Amino acid sequence: MDDDVVGHAFSHGFHPQHVERLAAYWAEALGGPSVYSDSYGDETTVVKMHSGNGEHDEMDRRAIACFDRALADVGLADNDALRQVLHDYFAWATTKTMSRYHESADEVPNGLSIPHWSWTGSRCRTPRDLHNTGIGPNFDLAGATSY
């Protein structure tokens, strides 16, 4: 990881199947098959992994910037629509769902479903998902850089 602040999140190691699990999670969140939910856990599992670390707004902003650079590195900088949708999803997930429970992973509710994202934004399945992911009528990507 080129960014020392973002890289700190991985400094203590990570699951040996991190890439495969992340790919399955993102595929499901972006409308693909439910491989993550069927094989590894639900949204509660994922959010708990990212919770209880205190506030980390600077790391979140820098992670989003790293993600945007990675999109360019793999050739997606020329596809404005796809780049924007992926940026919006990552920024939303980083600043709304994964960083919602700063104090303790014990605060994360059980039974959360992986929220789905589409070309037009969030497609949460139930009102419970909508409530627990922090999306509402005043939803924005405050603090997230956009193209």
Write out pLDDT tens, residues 45-88: 999 988 888 788 898 899 999 999 999 999 987 889 999 999 99
Which residues are CB-contacts of 44 (< 8 A; sequence separation ≥ 6)? 108, 109, 110, 111, 112
Which residues are CB-contacts of 59 (< 8 A; sequence separation ≥ 6)? 5, 6, 8, 9
pTM for this one?
Answer: 0.76
| Structure confidence at residue 37 as a pLDDT band (50, 70, 90) | very high
The crossing angle, in degrees rounded to 10, of helices 57-73 and 80-92 is 160
Write out pLDDT tens, residues 78-131: 889 999 999 999 999 888 888 888 889 999 999 999 998 888 887 765 434 444
